[in-house]
Structure 1
Amino acid sequence: MKVLKFGGKSLSNEGISKVIDIIESKIDNGDRITVVVSARGNATNELESILQKASSSEVYQEQLEAFKLSQRQITPLLDFNPEFNKLEKLLEGVSLLEDFSTKVKDEVLAQGELIAIKTVTELLQQRGINANATDARLLLKTDESFGNAQPIEGVSKENIVNYYKKHNGTTVNVVSGFIGSNLKNETTTLGRNGSNYTASLLANYLDADELQNYTHVDGIFTANPDLVSDAKKIEELSFSEANELANFGANILHAKTIIPLIEKNINLRILNTFNQKDEGTLITAKSSAKGIKSISVLDNVALLNFEGRGLLGKVGVDARIFKSLGSHDISVSIISQGSSERGIGLVVDKEKAELAVKALKHEFEYDLKTKDVNHISIVNDVAVISIIGQDLSEFHLPYNALIQNQIVPLLFNNTITGKNVSLVVKKEELHKAVNVIHGQIFGVAKKINIAVFGKGLVGGTLIEQIIKSTPAILDRRKIQLNIFAVANSKKVLLSQHGIDENWQAKLNESSIESSVDEVIDFAKAHHLENLIAVDNTANQDFIENYIPLVENGFDLVSSNKIANTVSHSFYKKLRQVLENNKKTYLYETNVGAGLPLIDTIKLLHDSGENITRIRGVFSGSLSFIFNKYSEENVPFATVLKEAIENGYTEPDPREDLCGNDVARKLLILARELDLENEFEDIHIENLIPEEFRDSSAAEFIDNCDKLNDHFNKIKDGQEENHVLRYIGDLHGDLQQTKGNLDVKLVSVPENTPLGSLKGSDAIFEIYTESYGNQPIVIQGAGAGAEVTARGVFGDILRLTKK
């Protein structure tokens, strides 16, 4: 025999025909079956809501009539008067008393299952199937614990075996789940998801071959698909693993369902009523795979904090806690206890939290007066995440992932076996936390969610590079890069699952005004994890958004130099916020475009190496200009115009010639050595004659021939075999608070690293105490959108390793 159990969603008005089809196909295949049904659709919740209204003297009749209409819809001619009349009488009494007992509640809720067995039986009989509606209250005898009754095994088993001897053969018994009755024949219920328990008891007592639990999903998943979009179905589980899942909140199972099946070694298969081709999840005595199985969630809980430093070392405190809670039928699902002082965290059902505090305060009344107990309090709006199969030796991986995403668990504990770990988190963090943990331990790829601000030459190039490289990075490094936001100065494009190659058109069509707050709110609303904000704006005002972004969970990557060259106070404040929030700010492209300069300097400095000087050609545009001007016998204006035409300079070349860009880069390097220099400390040689500084860019370019004489004199005044280079030079005693920063045009021997520079390359000489007069030289392409974007991309990939 097989026991088939159908849940409420399967039995809804929209799904019940599928249930009848499944039962009919089993009979056509010659299977011997019995059927267990839950209340149809959302009946149990609706009845509970109506009951609450009645007890609060609210008008409930309209909702009751809507309930009746919904239950009649599939079988309008079927007589539900016994159930409906019972409901009306019970609710009328509750309304008059403005209160109800758990016993009354059980009687009210039971009507949902009684209506369900009538409906399913009628529909089966309409198809010529010999079906028999079976009220489980006649068979399943329980104790008097209304709301969470326990079966009396001997009596129940005898009743069920005898009943099936009379109603067997070709008869399909349709049994009401969830309900039973005590020895006084008073209606009881078996607790949350008790229909599953009813089905497993039947399977045990009838020695069934298999229990098939039909629901609205394909089986048990690595996490709730409603919380984690890429949750994977688990093909096979062991009884012990399934039992852990049930205990820690897996909605698809009842915590007591597994025990009767283990006793008789009866397989349990979780199946989808609406997808009959899927084979579901099979639960057997032995799992076919090892390792972490699933993440389950309990969200209807509260955390009790019990603190009593004066109780340290006293014997029997824990016993008193559990005795007081047990006397009020309050179960503790998780306990976490500190060793350095008497502090205990207890997780209980949210509905019983106030009662639990009241019980504990009564028990420890004297201890509260003597201050041995400091306080007993409730933390509401929490949830428990349990990682079933998590070995404690590897728990640091998901835990660190949570911390990196600014989710700090309130407490955690592990089971005696060391294979399951539970965390308590704030409820508002639940969705994101489950996704972070799932991505860490189950994910085929780690998802990195990126917001790009600024879509100019560098920003647009970066976006195209990421889109093009994403498949290869996913395949090679198991990292899923997901650009969920692109913003320019006017609009922002938002897409939870990432932009595509048509992003520019979609950005232009977007109706959302550009705002960092919009991006932050979108990330929160969609519970996005592993957030990176990329600043390609070169906008001074935008750096004010850095701190809010960090505080809301974003790491930072920037090609914008401004944040590192404004006041030293902002520089330090930003780094303090980064440290407080466990976030990282990478900006390798601020100085050397795609060259590994800042990383090298950080490594040397952090390792204790005394850097004594940094000198080099920092600007790719000025490198091109003076390399060509020094090598060829051409006027300076000719070289400058060529650089403009080739796009090496800014549209207004004075932005390059004034030296401010080189000065900013030099200041960034000084601050990497923990120097406190400000921009005003830099001595800058401005290459623009004063008479050209206030004219328009067009006027300057038209009259740049007037620069020829000035630069010819400098060039002709050099020593033999020397060339001109425009350099940044950080020197002096760099162990002090400030260093000397010079930006200037110099003449150097052409056989030196600086003198042998070609094209638009940048070069950096790093002098250290250990290396003496022989500098570390870093040289390469120092400018260009492709190079800079690739450097930003490199910073993004460095962050993904976190």
Structure 2
Amino acid sequence: MKILKFGGKSLANGEGLQKVLAILTDKVLKGEEFAVVVSARGNATDELEDLLAIASKNENYKPLFEKFKAYQQADFPTVDLSEEFTVLEKLFEGVSLIGDYSEKIKDQVLSQGELLSAKLITAILKQKGVNANFADARELIKTDGKFGDAQPIEQVSKKNVVQFFKQHSDKVNIITGFIGSNSKNEATTLGRNGSNYTASLFSNYLNASELQNFTHVDGIYTANPELVEDAKKIDFLSFNEANELANFGATILHAKTIIPLLEKNIPLRILNTFNHENKGTLITSNAGKEGIKTLSVLENVALVNLEGRGLLGKTGVDARIFRVMGDNDISVSIISQGSSERGIGLVVAADKASKAMIELEKEFENDFYSKDVNKISVTDEVSVISIIGQDLSTFHKPYTALIKNKIVPILFNNTVTGKNVSLVVHKSELNRALNVIHGEIFGVSKKINIAIFGHGLVGGTLINQILESADAIEKRKDIRLNVFAIANSKNVLLNKNGVSPNWRNEIQTNGHSYSIDEIIAYAKEHHLENLIAIDNTASAAFVENYIPLIESSFDLISSNKVANTLSYSFYKKLRKVLDDNQKSYLYETNVGAGLPLIDTIKLLHLSGENITKIKGVFSGTLSYLFNNFSAKDVPFSEILKEAIDNGYTEPDPREDLCGNDVGRKLLILARELDLQNEFDEIAIQNLIPEHLREGDVSTFLNKLKEFDPIYAKIKAEQQPNHVLRYIGELSGDLQNDKGNLEVKLVSVPSDTALGGLKGSDSFFEIYTESYGDRPIVIQGAGAGSAVTARGVFGDILRLSDKG
């Protein structure tokens, strides 16, 4: 025989009730032997509690009661439920007259929900020709006299159940869950979610082959799928793991459900009423594979903190705390001596927190005078996340992921076995914390949420590269790149699930004006974790957003050179904010586009290597100009016009020719070596004749030939077999606070590495003490939207791999 249990959502009017009836009639047709335990239908228990509260205040409860009756009767007006309705009516009338009610009255009221449910199901099944029988658990499950949370008296209850089923073995018994009765035959309840406990007891007493618990989900998940979209169904769990889940907030199980099943080794299967083909989650005594199984959540809790110098190391403190809790019927789910340096934290039900604080203040009154205790307080709006199966040896991984996302647990502890860890977090951070932990520890992809600012050549290319590569990266690295925001200087496109390949059209049709605060708020509202902001603008104004983004848990990536070339004081301030918030700022493309230049210099410097000089061709545009001008016997203006026509220069070529861009790149490298140079200390040779530096772009473009005599002369005055190169050079004693920074046009032998440069390649020589006269050479494409975008993409993957 199997015991089937159906919850309130499964029995709700409409699809739920029809599904339950279909499941039961199908099993009857197949000749299966089973009994059914039912909860109150829909939200009946909560509604009955609300009615009690209204009646006790002598308010008009009757409209709500009529609504309750209409729902319970619903589409089955011929089913006689008058007895239960009459009982409820008399009870509410009495409560309204007295203006109060006892726990005994409350149990009488709440028990009617299950009675209505079982009677209705029984009657409908009979109408369908099923030999169904109504089983009132008040006559079978005998309990102690504790109303609201009664304990079954096992011997008597078992005898009653076995005897009842002998008499009705040929019928489909529909049993009321949640309720029993005491020695005076007064209705008692087994605690909230007690219908699961009823089903477990019947399974034990009848030696059932399996308990099937039908709910509104496919089984037990690695986390609540309503909170974590990536949650995966667990096929198998052990009783011990299920018990931990129940104790730490899994609403699908009752904390007492497991023990009766464990005693008889009766499997428990969690199934979905609305998806009957799914095999659900099977819970057995088999231990199965060790490891983290799931995350469970305790809500409606509060943290009670005791702080004082005399608490730690003082004998008897814990005993006094638990005596207070026991005397006042307050259950403590977690206790930890880690909520402060000299404190003890207790997690209790939210509605018991004030009582706990008051009673503890009474108990420790003398300790306040001796200064052993200086504060007892309550932190409301908290939740508990329990990682079931978490070993402390690997706990650093989810903990580090939380810190990286600026979620700092208020308190944590582990069980005696060391296989479960519970964290107390602020309720406002619960959803994001769950997603961060889940993404870190389970075999699902770690989600990286990206906001991209600037979608010109580099930004647009990057967005398309991400969208085209996302699936392959997820398969290869278990990292899911999710571009949730694309913005230009005016509008933003937001989509928490990620933008589509049609993003260019969507930002025109659905984009709207924005502030950086709106994007930060959007990420917070949708609990987005592992945030990265990417600056593909060339804007000095946008740099002002860096600090608010960092302080709101964003890591930064930038192809924009401005932030690293502002004043040295801002440079240091930005680094301090990054350190304070434990965030990263990557900008590999600031100097060499896609070349691994900054990373190389950082590693050399971090290792203690003494870098003595850096020089090279920093601009792909100027590399193209002078490589071709040196190799061809043509005027300089012709090469310059060719570069302009091919899109190698900025719209105003003077931005390239003035040398400031090379100067900024050189300054960035200097600051990587902890040098404190400012931009105005760089000696920059401006390639533009002085009389052409002012005026509009079109006028300048009409006067390009005026470059020719100047550069023809420079070219002619070189030594034989020499070529022109426009370089940046960092030299001097680089162990001091400042170095010598020069940007200049030089003539070098054509048979050297620098002299042999071709096309628009960038070229860098890094001289160090260890390498002597043989520099480290980095050469390759140093410009171009695709190359720069790929470099930014590399920074994204570096950040994604961290932690």
Q: How does the TM-score come out when normalised to structure 2? A: 0.97
Report if the CA contact (8 A) 1:488-1:514 is conserved.
no
Give the Cα–Cα distance (whole angstroms) in 2 for the partners of residues 202 and 142 of structure 1.
14
Give the Cα–Cα distance (whole angstroms) in 2 for the partners of residues 727 and 59 of structure 1.
87
Deviation, 1:198, is 0.5
Which one-letter code corresponds to 1:719 in the other structure? Q
Give the Cα–Cα distance (whole angstroms) in 1 for the partners of residues 313 and 435 of structure 2.
41
Report if the CA contact (8 A) 2:305-2:339 is conserved.
no
Change (3 A) 1:340 1:34: closer
Report if the CA contact (8 A) 1:593-1:781 is conserved.
yes
| Range with greater deviation from structure 2 (464-473 or 319-328) | 464-473
Change (3 A) 1:102 1:575: farther
Give the Cα–Cα distance (whole angstroms) in 2 for the partners of residues 51 and 787 of structure 1.
70
Report if the CA contact (8 A) 1:489-1:514 is conserved.
no
Give the Cα–Cα distance (whole angstroms) in 1 for the partners of residues 220 and 700 of structure 2.
72
SS for the counterpart of 1:766 is strand
Structure-2 residue corresponding to 1:131: 132
Residue 67 (structure 1) aligned with residue 68 (structure 2): yes
Which one-letter code corresponds to 1:361 in the other structure? E
Change (3 A) 1:675 1:101: farther
Structure-1 residue corresponding to 2:83: 82
SS for the counterpart of 1:141 is coil
Give the Cα–Cα distance (whole angstroms) in 2 for the partners of residues 56 and 584 of structure 1.
58
Q: 5 Å matches for 1:336-735?
A: 336-338=336-338, 342-735=342-735
Which one-letter code corresponds to 2:474 in the other structure? L
Residue deviations 1:608-656 (CA, integer Å, cap 9, x gap): 1222221111100001101111121111101100111111111111010
Give the Cα–Cα distance (whole angstroms) in 2 for the partners of residues 185 and 438 of structure 1.
48
Structure-2 residue corresponding to 1:778: 778
Structure-2 residue corresponding to 1:119: 120
Which one-letter code corresponds to 1:61 in the other structure? K
| Range with greater deviation from structure 2 (745-754 or 208-217) | 745-754
Structure-1 residue corresponding to 2:46: 45
Deviation, 1:312, is 3.8
Give the Cα–Cα distance (whole angstroms) in 2 for the partners of residues 760 and 71 of structure 1.
79
SS for the counterpart of 1:309 is coil
Structure-2 residue corresponding to 1:163: 164
SS for the counterpart of 2:310 is helix
Give the Cα–Cα distance (whole angstroms) in 2 for the partners of residues 371 and 760 of structure 1.
74
Change (3 A) 1:655 1:97: farther
Which one-letter code corresponds to 1:535 in the other structure? D
Structure-2 residue corresponding to 1:176: 176
Give the Cα–Cα distance (whole angstroms) in 2 for the partners of residues 469 and 278 of structure 1.
33
| Range with greater deviation from structure 2 (490-499 or 705-714) | 490-499
Give the Cα–Cα distance (whole angstroms) in 2 for the partners of residues 156 and 171 of structure 1.
20
Give the Cα–Cα distance (whole angstroms) in 2 for the partners of residues 726 and 264 of structure 1.
84
Deviation, 1:213, is 0.7
Change (3 A) 1:379 1:47: same
Change (3 A) 1:709 1:55: farther
Which one-letter code corresponds to 1:332 in the other structure? V
Change (3 A) 1:303 1:750: same
Residue deviations 1:110-152 (CA, integer Å, cap 9, x gap): 2211111111111111111122222211221212222211111
Which one-letter code corresponds to 1:179 in the other structure? I
Deviation, 1:511, is 4.1
Change (3 A) 1:290 1:372: closer
Report if the CA contact (8 A) 2:223-2:231 is conserved.
yes
Deviation, 1:82, is 2.9
Deviation, 1:287, is 4.3
Structure-1 residue corresponding to 2:110: 109
Deviation, 1:339, is 11
SS for the counterpart of 1:149 is coil
| Range with greater deviation from structure 2 (708-717 or 49-58) | 49-58
Structure-1 residue corresponding to 2:301: 301
Give the Cα–Cα distance (whole angstroms) in 2 for the partners of residues 475 and 318 of structure 1.
50
Which one-letter code corresponds to 1:507 in the other structure? I
SS for the counterpart of 1:277 is coil
Residue 209 (structure 1) aligned with residue 226 (structure 2): no
Deviation, 1:602, is 0.8
Deviation, 1:197, is 0.1
Report if the CA contact (8 A) 2:142-2:152 is conserved.
yes
Deviation, 1:543, is 1.0
Deviation, 1:574, is 1.4
| Range with greater deviation from structure 2 (82-91 or 592-601) | 82-91
Deviation, 1:222, is 1.0
Deviation, 1:513, is 2.1
Which one-letter code corresponds to 1:299 in the other structure? E
Give the Cα–Cα distance (whole angstroms) in 1 for the partners of residues 42 and 312 of structure 2.
52
Residue 16 (structure 1) aligned with residue 17 (structure 2): yes
Report if the CA contact (8 A) 1:312-1:341 is conserved.
no
Give the Cα–Cα distance (whole angstroms) in 2 for the partners of residues 772 and 100 of structure 1.
91
Report if the CA contact (8 A) 1:445-1:479 is conserved.
yes
Which one-letter code corresponds to 1:83 in the other structure? E
Give the Cα–Cα distance (whole angstroms) in 2 for the partners of residues 373 and 728 of structure 1.
65
Give the Cα–Cα distance (whole angstroms) in 2 for the partners of residues 60 and 401 of structure 1.
50
Structure-2 residue corresponding to 1:316: 316
Residue deviations 1:486-540 (CA, integer Å, cap 9, x gap): 1122222222222222121222211432433332222222211111111111111
SS for the counterpart of 1:310 is coil
Which one-letter code corresponds to 1:260 in the other structure? P
Residue 290 (structure 1) aligned with residue 290 (structure 2): yes
Report if the CA contact (8 A) 1:613-1:768 is conserved.
yes
Structure-1 residue corresponding to 2:34: 33
Give the Cα–Cα distance (whole angstroms) in 2 for the partners of residues 766 and 367 of structure 1.
66
Residue deviations 1:665-715 (CA, integer Å, cap 9, x gap): 111111111122221111211111222122211111111101111111211
| Range with greater deviation from structure 2 (624-633 or 483-492) | 483-492
Deviation, 1:796, is 0.6
Residue deviations 1:434-492 (CA, integer Å, cap 9, x gap): 11111112133222111111110001111111112122212222221111111122222
Structure-2 residue corresponding to 1:256: 256
Percent of pairs with identical residues: 66
Report if the CA contact (8 A) 1:765-1:776 is conserved.
yes
Give the Cα–Cα distance (whole angstroms) in 1 for the partners of residues 643 and 448 of structure 2.
38
Give the Cα–Cα distance (whole angstroms) in 1 for the partners of residues 281 and 339 of structure 2.
41
Deviation, 1:5, is 0.6
Deviation, 1:272, is 0.9
Give the Cα–Cα distance (whole angstroms) in 2 for the partners of residues 704 and 56 of structure 1.
91
| Range with greater deviation from structure 2 (517-526 or 403-412) | 517-526
Report if the CA contact (8 A) 1:491-1:510 is conserved.
no
